Amino acid sequence: MSATPGGGVRTLRVPGRHGYAAEFSPYLPGRLACAASQHYGIAGSGTLLILDQNESGLRLFRSFDWNDGLFDVTWSENNEHVLVTCSGDGSLQLWDTARATGPLQVFKEHTQEVYSVDWSQTRGEQLVVSGSWDQTVKLWDPTVGKSLCTFRGHESVIYSTIWSPHIPGCFASSAGDQTLRIWDVKTTGVRIVVPAHQAEILSCDWCKYNENLVVTGAVDCSLRGWDLRNVQQPVFELLGHTYAIRRVKFSPFHASVLASCSYDFTVRFWNFSKPDPLLETVEHHTEFTCGLDLSLQSPTQVADCAWDETIKIYDPVCLTMLA
């Protein structure tokens, strides 16, 4: 395992582990979690990597192994040491970084791969939502040993589930059935169904500054923004990626800025309010780029991970200029 600073990019190479998701800690500046898998997630085990930054680059603080590939990770919103991962064996794992071994708990109800997991950001509730290839979304309270409820409606594998940062009990999901769906925990039903692309939708995210704006990223190489008050047409479309978009994230600091990563090996930064929206293209991976996050603490810092066995933290020029 090697860490290299250079050109402002901090890199940690993790031999034999292919990165699927990267998430900055909401508590500790510079701490990053990465969910990774052996053999591109097709077979073998998974590893949760906890990384810290220092002057010399990135260092591995702790790693946890699981007996199947790990596809996503989310930090607790009420305990700086706790996170949840999800796996190819249909389970979710609850980990504590203060302990050298784990997991603390395993939640096994999904019947196929769990591809997405997210911890609610709204205060006063501790809820985790998971999306699976079994075509269901499940709601969990990590203090309860079983799921609170199951949401059905998607007609294909679910790739992405993400809580609204504004509306308690509201989350979005996207799937292979080419739809974006908005759900309400209180009614356990779907509120809005958006036929958002004519292709599988691998990712979605909520704008941090507009409770009605959600972005989708799809296999058709496009990003589309949706105003949930009127979903007849997208409010923006961003074109430039040349292969499927794997993950999209809105900026926590700029209302109209977002980032996307793709199977074209690039990470792209966009400002959808501009006539020429593409701000920057980062080409520092040599394989599918799957994990992406923007720091909650630093307005310029970004993390990503890819199937080239590297995790990178860097400050793109466009964000540095905005700051």
pLDDT the model gives residue 6 = 43
Q: Hey, which residues does 4 pair with through a beta bridge?
A: 11
- What's the one-letter identity of residue 319? L
CA 247-249-253 angle, 5° bins: 165
Sheet holding 289-294, edge to edge: 2-6, 9-13, 310-314, 302-306, 289-294
Report yes or no on 31 lying in a domain: yes
What's the pLDDT score for residue 41? 55
pLDDT band at 211 (very low <50, low <70, confident <90, very high): very high
Q: Residue 65: inside a domain, yes or no?
A: yes
Total domains in the fold of the chain: 1
Which CATH number covers residue 153? 2.130.10.10
DSSP H or E stretch at residue 213: strand 213-218
d(CA 144, CA 239): 43
| Alpha carbons 46 and 39: distance in angstroms, whole number | 9
Per-residue pLDDT for 197 more than 70?
yes
Quote the pLDDT of residue 4: 46
Residue 11 lies in a domain: no
Return d(Cα 209, Cα 250) in angstroms, integer.
9
Could you tell me if residue 221 is inside a domain?
A: yes
Positive/negative CA dihedral, 118, 57, 12, 203: positive
Q: What is the Cα–Cα distance from 240 to 259, expressed in whole angstroms?
A: 12
What Rg do the C-alpha atoms of the chain give, in angstroms? 18
276 Cβ contact list (under 8 Å, min separation 6): none
Type and span of the H or E element at 291: strand 289-294
How far is CA 232 from its chain centroid?
A: 26
Beta bridge partners of 193: 181
Task: Tell me, yes or no, whether 1 lies in a domain.
Answer: no
- The verdict on residue 87 lying in a domain is yes
User: Model confidence over 4-50: pLDDT tens digits?
Assistant: 444 589 999 999 999 999 999 999 988 999 999 986 556 679 999 99
Please identify which residue in the block is written with the tokens 């925990």: 185
The verdict on residue 3 lying in a domain is: no
111-168 pLDDT per residue, tens? 999 999 999 987 677 899 999 999 999 999 999 989 999 999 999 999 999 999 999 9
With contact defined as beta carbons under 8 Å apart, do 117 and 130 qualify?
yes
pLDDT digits (tens, 9 = 90+) for 247-304: 999 999 999 999 999 999 999 999 999 999 999 999 999 999 999 999 999 999 999 9
Degrees, nearest 5: CA angle 8-261-292: 65
Please, are residues 158 and 131 in contact by the beta-carbon 8 Å criterion?
A: yes
In a domain, 9, yes or no: no
Q: Which domain holds residue 243?
A: 19-322
Higher pLDDT, 78 or 224: 224
